[in-house]
Amino acid sequence: MLTNLQQQPADALLALIKLHNADPRADKIDLGVGVYRTGEGDTPVFRSIKAAEAKLVAGQDSKAYLGPEGDMGFVEALMPYIFGKDSPDMGGRIEGMQTPGGTGSLRLALAMVKRAGYKRIIVGTPSWPNHAQICADLGLGVVEFNHALPSGHTDMDAVRAAITEAQEGDAILLHGCCHNPTGIDYTNEQWDDIAQRIADAGILPVLDLAYQGLGMGMEEDAYGLRRVLVAVPEALICYSCDKNFGLYRDRVGALYAMVSDPADRAKVMSNGHNLARANWSQPPDHGAAAVRLILEDEALTADWLAELDEMRDRMRQVRARLAAAGLAGAVDLTPLGGQNGLFSIVPLSKDQVLEMREKHGIYMAGSGRINVAGLTMGNIDKFIGAVADVTA
């Protein structure tokens, strides 16, 4: 029976990584894989994580199962940073659970959406490819709207129309900050507008906050999520620590549900636990425990936030240099300076992306998405020159 399975296409990003690794050129540039890199091109373990791991190794006395809800100390320690210090559980309306990374959180959230009876989810495009893949696997219909304009701004007319045209049984998926893949975020005023429209339409928001702290700051990056939560009775929130704690291979995330009546929390979360049991049974402990230890220690928290500041400042410097270059051939790099997070899209055709790779040793997704953290002050001029060359 296994012979009935159909060959699936290789993941384009994983294939790109292999091509980059096999390239013998010393000056090759990897702008594909979505991890933070320092100005020297390294993806380090955070100082604060190293310190927390040392405490964990010294003090951990068991490797027993956690249960499907995971490390609830970790889940609760994150809440003031996500939802605000004044009322992190929104008056008893929010409860969460640990998941394997942001992807695990999204898988769980969308499975709960399906189980709750929702039929379709509204998604701005382009979006992170796994959003559509998870929806397809679950049998959720996807209604697309255009997220960004060629000018480098959000397409507010499109999102307003999508919300206005929503039907009963629809949910909407929104990136909380540092949009992947465009880097183009909603302004605070636009979030105010979106939040009210979602509330008026009576649709369920699913908020994907995968890059908090890498855009404008921890508080600033949470504005949109918090604004929506104030406006609506119910929501699902997907969170990742993979990027803002550098825990890519440890897969650390959380799912939170906000209910209209605190009495419904247990019922809703029982479905999360039930779905998790059928997917991964129980989440891994190590990375979440390290995050919890950081957030329980004032000095480690301060060091973690300082590391985030360093990362954000470096990416801002790269973006400022790209914007200062202005026109590179036929491509205007100026809008990249006002975008946020790890990613942006450079408007290149697939043939031009291929020429970037073959002629210049610059590896990027076929969509033109680049990881700006792959650029350094040592290679950024090569990148700008290559864009000018392939678009001249």
The question of whether 208 is a catalytic residue gets the answer: yes
Looking at the fold, whether 136 and 217 belong to one and the same domain comes out as yes
Catalytic member of 243, 285, 303, 304? 243
* Distance of alpha carbon 93 from the chain centroid: 24
Q: Give the C-alpha separation, 174 to 127, whole Å.
A: 10
Residue 3 within a domain: no
Residue 354 within a domain: yes
Looking at the fold, whether 344 and 238 belong to one and the same domain comes out as no
Residue 2 within a domain: no
Looking at the fold, whether 355 and 262 belong to one and the same domain comes out as no
Q: 201: which 2 tokens?
A: 């339409």
**pLDDT value at residue 204:** 98
Looking at the fold, whether 107 and 238 belong to one and the same domain comes out as yes
The one-digit pLDDT tens for each residue of the chain (392 residues) are 999 999 988 888 888 889 999 999 999 999 998 999 999 999 999 999 999 999 999 999 999 999 999 999 999 999 999 999 998 899 999 999 999 999 999 999 999 999 999 999 999 999 999 999 999 999 999 999 999 998 889 999 999 999 999 999 999 999 999 999 999 999 999 999 999 999 999 999 999 999 999 999 999 999 999 999 999 999 999 999 999 999 999 999 999 999 999 999 999 999 999 999 999 999 999 999 999 999 999 999 999 999 999 999 999 999 999 999 999 999 999 999 999 999 999 999 999 999 999 999 999 999 999 999 999 999 999 999 999 999 99
Looking at the fold, whether 282 and 327 belong to one and the same domain comes out as no
Looking at the fold, whether 154 and 226 belong to one and the same domain comes out as yes
CATH assignment of the domain containing 375: 3.90.1150.10
Domains in the chain, number: 2
Residue 233 within a domain: yes
Residue 303 within a domain: no
Looking at the fold, whether 234 and 314 belong to one and the same domain comes out as no
The question of whether 285 is a catalytic residue gets the answer: no
Phi and psi for 35 in degrees, rounded to 5? -125, 155
Looking at the fold, whether 217 and 266 belong to one and the same domain comes out as yes
Residue finishing a domain among 241, 265, 296: 296
Catalytic member of 155, 208, 221, 285? 208
Looking at the fold, whether 214 and 341 belong to one and the same domain comes out as no
Do the Cβ atoms of 102 and 238 come closer than 8 Å?
Answer: yes
Q: How far is CA 318 from CA 32, 120, 130, 331, in A?
A: 16, 38, 27, 17
Residue 151 within a domain: yes
CATH assignment of the domain containing 186: 3.40.640.10
Q: Which domain holds residue 127?
A: 65-296
Looking at the fold, whether 248 and 109 belong to one and the same domain comes out as yes
The question of whether 128 is a catalytic residue gets the answer: yes
Q: Give the C-alpha separation, 372 to 37, whole Å.
A: 9
Residue 159 within a domain: yes
By the 10 Å C-beta count (0-12 exposed, 13-18 middle, 19+ buried), 192 is classed as: middle
Residue 286 within a domain: yes
Question: Hey, CA dihedral for 138, 185, 125, 141, is it positive or negative?
Answer: positive
Looking at the fold, whether 221 and 367 belong to one and the same domain comes out as no
**pLDDT value at residue 184:** 98
Looking at the fold, whether 140 and 175 belong to one and the same domain comes out as yes
pTM of whole model > 0.85? yes
Do the Cβ atoms of 130 and 106 come closer than 8 Å?
Answer: yes
Sheet containing 235-240: order of strands: 94-100, 252-258, 235-240, 204-209, 170-175, 120-125, 141-146
